[in-house]
Amino acid sequence: MKKRVLFNLIILVLFTMAANTSCPLHPASTQRDDFDFATVDDLIFIHHSCGQAWLTNSLHNALLAKNYIDERNDMYYGDDILPDPGRPDSLAPTPGDRTNMNHWILWFNDYLDNLIDHDCADGVNTIIMFKSCYPISNITSDGTEPGDPFSSSQTLTNYKAVYRHAYGPGNTYTHSSYTYKPLFDVFAENPDILFIPVTAPPRHYAPSDATNDAEAHRARLFNEWLKQAVDVYNTTHPDLNNVAVFDWFDLLAYPDNHATHPNRLRSDYGGTSGNSHPNSTANAVSTAVFATDPENFIDTAWEAFKGPDLTLDIKANGSDGPISLSYGEALTLTLDIDPNARLGQDADWWVVVKTPFSPPNEWYYYDLNMKAWMQGRDVTNQGALFDMDPKDLPVSPNLEPGTYFFFFAVDLIMNGSIDLGEIYFNKVRVTINP
């Protein structure tokens, strides 16, 4: 979802002055390395085969097309990760092999800090998606409260215990002499991360049924409960909006009242194949609903997470990108900002670019006072957010061939550095061909 903010009157004047300035970018021998700009723009997906097929089909490219996602990382079969300091390696020897419901309480208590950094080249995983595979949709019984979140028994109460303690928020579990918090308590303590539980797919029904009506019905009951529980969580924590459930089961399954195959994988999604992996049609539809439809799930979740009070956009030659240009072809950035409820608030703001030049010379920022691109990752300006019409910023047509990532960002704490949870940004990718 596009992000916009508006700057003060002096910025308006400076951009107007800069509109006729062509700005060269060339590698130099030194760089001001004040901070790492790309700190909040990665996504990690913990998944197995259904997730991998979905990514390969279309989801990977759809996620990377988002202006708020720089890298898309994974935890998958065979992947290892160290536990956080002071925590046990509870999913050893290979955490990536473990994505059943009873594993999530271990993931998010013992490995969360390292998950946030896992496989990031220059940022952090601000979005964490996680999904169990279809076998957990065979929920064998209702179970008995308070439930056991560490048990492999697939019951409704055990599944619920993973997310919430039966005796209320703040209560904890003990497992192997360590204290464990239910997931909702962990999520509330990490407001700078957007958590996306993806419900497990339904089971196929032919040529022989992979489950029964009661088990499949319980799977739907749990997924409905989880969505309602997240609604309660978001009501209890109105300033966070950092948990959003994507109900993949509901998207792929026949309804609960289907005459012959309730809560089973639909036939057009592979239900008659004897294989519970959603087929290519299912994956394409899922990507549209999750990431590419006009009112898609992840854009809506991201906007709720970042807040509707501040929006920001950067375009390259009128496009949100990515775009490709030939060497010597004109390039103009268009910056568009709208502070809404943040009007008048002091902020740091940047116009920066990550170039294809070799480190440590890859970053430049636009200096409004100099009306020029300067090497480094410094603050472009500091001042109150102000309502401004979209402004053009021409860039030299003589950019060297390679891929450039242009960022437009503001940080609501005006201190010259990036503050997680307070930064809003938008980016556009430009490739210069020889």
pLDDT, tens digit, 9 for 90 and up, residues 70-97: 899 999 999 999 999 999 999 999 999 9
- What average pLDDT does the segment 290-313 reach? 88
**Sign, Cα dihedral of 164, 165, 169, 175:** negative
The whole-model pTM stands at 0.73
pLDDT at 343: 79
The predicted pLDDT at position 293 comes to 96
What is the DSSP code (8-state) at residue 120? -
Q: Name the average pLDDT for the chain.
A: 88
For residue 16, pLDDT over 50 is answered with no
Q: How far apart are CA 370 and CA 193, in angstroms?
A: 36
**pLDDT exceeds 80 at position 119:** yes
CATH class of 9-37+308-433: mainly beta
Residue 29 confidence (pLDDT): 31
The predicted pLDDT at position 226 comes to: 98
Per-residue pLDDT at 145 exceeds 60? yes
Which span out of 131-135, 310-314, 367-371 was modeled with the highest average pLDDT?
A: 131-135
Angle at 394 between CA 25 and CA 337, to 5 degrees: 110
Q: How many CB atoms lie within 10 A of CB 422?
A: 16
Among 357, 325, 331, CA closest to 433: 325
Q: Which residue has the higher pLDDT, 145 or 9?
A: 145
> What is the reported pLDDT for 310?
75
Q: How much of the chain, in percent, has pLDDT values that exceed 70?
A: 90
Residue 31 has pLDDT above 80, yes or no: no
Average pLDDT on 144-161 reads 98
Percent of the chain with pLDDT over 90: 67
Residue 284 has pLDDT above 90, yes or no: yes
pLDDT tens sequence across 185-242: 999 999 999 999 999 999 999 999 999 999 999 999 999 999 999 999 999 998 899 9
Class of domain 42-306: alpha beta
Q: Which of 32, 41, 23 is nearest to 408 (CA)?
A: 41
- Where are the domain boundaries for CATH 2.60.40.3880 in the chain? 9-37+308-433
Give the integer Cα–Cα distance in Å for 274 and 7.
58
Q: What is the pLDDT of residue 40?
A: 54
> Which of these ranges, 154-168, 297-311, 355-369, 401-415, has the smallest mean pLDDT?
297-311
- Band the pLDDT of 420: cuts 50, 70, 90: low
Distance, CA of 46 to CA of 64 (rounded, Å): 17
8 Å CB contact between 205 and 261: yes
Q: Which residues pair with 32 in a beta bridge?
A: none
pLDDT at 308: 60
pLDDT at 167: 95
- Cβ 405 vs Cβ 323: under 8 Å: no
